[in-house]
Amino acid sequence: MRMRPTLSWTPTEDLPSGTTDPKPVADALSAGGVLVLSGAGISTESGIPDYRGEGGSLNRHTPMTFQDFTSSTQARRRYWARSHLGWRTFGRARPNAGHRAVAAFGRHGLLSGVITQNVDGLHQAAGSEGVVELHGSLARVVCLSCGAVSPRRELARRLEEANAGFEPVAAEINPDGDADLTDEQVGDFRAVPCTVCGGILKPDVVFFGETVPPLRVEHCRRLVREATSLLVLGSSLTVMSGLRFVRQAAQAHKPVLIVNLDPTRGDRHALTRVALPLGTTLTSVADRLGIPVDGQATA
């Protein structure tokens, strides 16, 4: 039985204060073998809001759950209307300094891998290779009946054709690419079926309330086992999908370092939490290590 998602976390213990000294991060990277685990906070400087930080989307928005999506035609209509509009903005987002710094660390052989909880593809656009998309990618669509996978851009074209004149103005865009629309704005928006079997289409992402595929989880666990240290970037670690890897690293006595402005659920397992903005912090770390951060991102 799937449970309702964990949307918030309140500390139940005194946590160590964050530092403004990024030297421990630079030291870990200089030793090599660092596994990066990134969350929504690394993409805020690209114009994509996070979930739980100041001004985070969960203050005004409850994400679609897997249970609601699969059980309600109206919920799917609402989701696809909001997601279709959000995709226009979301798809135009470009990597920021944080993404580019991670890619530069990888190019210089300092990383053992990158796991991201994000679905925006910005690590890959910045040049990172072998990125594990823990929660999937909005760039793909999957049929829940036959399993056919297709490009999101193809679905966008079909939705445009099926909903000519659909041009509402969204109040906000959320980290999952969902736009804030009222029921009136959604109106009678038409979702489209799978072109192979006529089944229900879903973005190839792990919804709240859905489980990450076991093989993907085991792949990430292996990356943790092989890493020298774990560097968490821009994640509150509220949900277990990311927190379990922090716990695994700590139990194996591997250093855990976190860069996040706000306290996280993983702080008690961490060597340090650097409470500074990600883009400037990672760029300064790259400067300390003599690593240039390429300002050019791929399309």
Binding residues: 39-59, 117-120, 143, 146, 194, 197, 234-236, 278
CA-to-CA distance for 151 and 149, rounded, in angstroms? 7
CA-to-CA distance for 233 and 36, rounded, in angstroms? 7
CB-based contacts of 165, cutoff 8 Å, min separation 6: none
Annotated binding site for NAD(+): 39-59, 117-120, 234-236, 278
Q: Give the alpha-carbon dihedral of 217, 222, 227, 233, to 10 degrees.
A: -10
Q: Look up residue 286 and give its two tokens.
A: 């790259």
CA-to-CA distance for 139 and 156, rounded, in angstroms? 10
CA-to-CA distance for 181 and 78, rounded, in angstroms? 9
Annotated binding site for Zn(2+): 143, 146, 194, 197
Q: Which residues are catalytic?
A: 135
Alpha-carbon 276 to chain mean position: 19
Cβ atoms of residues 62 and 178 within 8 Å: no
CA-to-CA distance for 145 and 187, rounded, in angstroms? 26
CA-to-CA distance for 64 and 22, rounded, in angstroms? 36
